[in-house]
């Protein structure tokens, strides 16, 4: 097995990324384990930096784009 330090997220859909972010938030709140919230915040911070928008706008974009794809 080849060792690696980082994992690319290129192939993760917006819906899956939103689900991961929401799951980390939910788990952190329900279990009161700050590591889940910290991981969620770290992911959002990195993705918003890559997108060159602030974190709040990134989450709004992610929510809005996933909502619009679910409408039939």
In a domain? residue 7: no
Domain count within the chain:
1
List, for residues 40-67, the tens digit of each pLDDT value.
Answer: 999 999 999 988 999 999 999 999 988 7
pTM greater than 0.75: yes
In a domain? residue 9: no
In a domain? residue 39: yes
pLDDT at 1 over 90: no
Integer distance in angstroms from the first to the last C-alpha of the chain? 43
**34: domain range?**
14-70
Residue 69 host element (H or E)? helix 55-70
């Amino acid at each position: 097995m080849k060792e690696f330090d980082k994992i690319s997220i290129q192939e993760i859909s917006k819906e899956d990324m939103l689900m991961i972010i929401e799951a980390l938030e939910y788990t952190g709140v329900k279990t009161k384990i700050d590591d889940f919230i910290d991981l969620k915040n770290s992911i959002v911070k990195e993705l918003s930096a890559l997108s060159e928008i602030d974190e709040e706008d990134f989450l709004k974009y992610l929510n809005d784009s996933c909502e619009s794809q679910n409408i039939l």
